[in-house]
Homo-oligomer: A and B are copies of this chain.
């Protein structure tokens, strides 16, 4: 199903995989053309430029995270439940769209102008959602008051983003199980100050 309906879709799919694996600068239009099965010049009947391709891939990828954030925060729930849903949802997104998301994380630097500014702003927006859940949890007393909200948000986001470096669709553990374990570990850090359970 959905074996790519349009030529443009096929180009985007191949470009996503190649940009994710070899990087934007390490991928040539000739690589993409070969993967799609056409000659290099033929790509330009469907796209305007290499950078337009990158811009679309990055934006599509980052919008998945924003959609997750908006969906999770729209539901009434405790801060802990919000955080649990964000963490497991984030891991799912990475597991299902690994290449696309690697491009979001590392290739946006090759964008310029408005496209780049938009990406930076959307990433900031997503991090702000994570931070708001932490602040909310501290305020409600679900998370310990000694938590460092800003660094905790960056620690959680880093742990989640880094899954794109090691998660494997054919790994021994399912991505759902990995998501649950990530949530356990990371939420544990918000509920326990250092030394709170021992000397």
Contact = CB atoms under 8 A, between A and B. Distances in A.
A158 interface: yes
B191 A194 contact: yes
A148 interface: yes
A11 interface: no
B158 A162 contact: yes
A190 B191 contact: no
A196 B191 contact: yes
B158 A163 contact: yes
Interface string A137-175: 000001010111001101111111111011000000000
Contact of A158 (B22, B165, B190, B191): B165
Contact of A185 (B80, B106, B109, B148): B148
A155 B185 CA distance: 8
A43 interface: no
Interface in A86-141: 106, 109-110
Contacts of A109: 21-23
Please classify the interface of chain A as helix (H, G, I), strand (E, B), loop, or mixed, using the class held by over half of its residues: helix
Interface of A: 21-26, 80, 106, 109-110, 142, 144, 146-148, 151-152, 154-163, 165-166, 178, 181-194, 196-198
A122 to B, nearest CB: 15
Which A-B residue pairs are the 10 nearest by beta carbons?
Answer: A158-B162, A192-B192, A189-B189, A25-B26, A25-B25, A151-B181, A188-B189, A155-B159, A148-B181, A188-B192
Q: Which of A22, A183, A198 has the most CB of B within 10 A?
A: A198
Contacts of A24: 26
Contacts of A188: 144, 188-194, 196
A198 B80 contact: yes
A151 to B, nearest CB: 4
A186 to B, nearest CB: 6
